[in-house]
């Protein structure tokens, strides 16, 4: 059962050129002149690469049904992460690069989702936001206020470096966006 561009929805996955792609955003466009088309932002599921692609209206694709399976992050050994399947309790070692940049924000016992299709693990999704303890921080300069917009370097409990506002100190717990490493807010004061 093939799908065409009129069936597109955000989050849908399909096969194209032997690879699996997921639709992040789409927009149907019907210009005054010429044929209709669909503008999309796609993510290649295996690599995580995001790009834009335009399709002619009515193009057909084979659908792909992605399943998410819960895994728990146990520990890090060198460049390997050990994850446990929460359904079977089986442990697997995954190279840190396979999870991507967000792997540096993983702390023990956090849940990670494995994206699978046809029984094969295609990739992993970390939680979008994590709360981490500040283990090191540059000293704040007197006179810089919380609303000043001035940032300083800090290190969180996982060893990742982040930029935080001047009022953040060692011992504070902060919320971090794992997709881009951005500071969101202070959760509790140390």
What pLDDT digit, counting tens, does each position of 106-118 carry?
A: 999 999 999 888 8
Q: Which of 184, 176, 146 is nearest to 159 (CA)?
A: 176
Residue 14: which residues within 8 A CB-CB, separation 6 or more? 3, 20, 21, 23, 61, 62, 63, 64
Q: Do domains 3-64 and 67-125 have the same CATH topology?
A: no
Fold of 129-188: OB fold (Dihydrolipoamide Acetyltransferase, E2P) (2.40.50)
**67-125 under CATH 3.30.565.10, yes or no:** no
pLDDT tens, position by position, 28-84: 999 988 899 999 999 888 877 889 999 999 999 999 998 999 999 999 998 899 999
Answering whether pTM is above 0.75, one says: no
pLDDT digits (tens, 9 = 90+) for 110-144: 999 998 888 888 888 899 999 999 999 988 765 55
């Amino acid at each position: 059962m093939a799908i065409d561009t009129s069936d597109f929805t955000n989050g849908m996955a399909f096969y194209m050129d032997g690879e699996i792609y997921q639709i992040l955003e789409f927009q149907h466009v019907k210009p005054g002149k010429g044929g209709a088309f669909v503008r999309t932002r796609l993510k290649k599921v295996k690599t995580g690469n995001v790009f834009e692609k335009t399709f002619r209206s009515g193009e057909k694709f084979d659908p792909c049904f992605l399943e998410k399976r819960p895994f728990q992050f146990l520990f890090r050994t060198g460049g390997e992460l050990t994850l446990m399947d929460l359904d079977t309790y089986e442990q697997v070692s995954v190279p840190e690069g396979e999870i991507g940049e967000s792997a540096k924000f993983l702390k023990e016992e956090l849940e990670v989702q494995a994206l699978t299709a046809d029984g094969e693990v295609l990739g992993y999704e970390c939680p979008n936001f994590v709360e981490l303890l500040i283990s090191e921080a540059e000293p704040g300069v007197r006179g810089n206020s919380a609303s000043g917009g001035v940032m300083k370097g800090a290190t969180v409990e996982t060893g990742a470096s982040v930029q935080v506002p001047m009022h953040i100190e060692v011992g504070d717990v902060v919320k971090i966006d794992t997709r881009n490493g951005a500071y969101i807010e202070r959760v509790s004061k140390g």
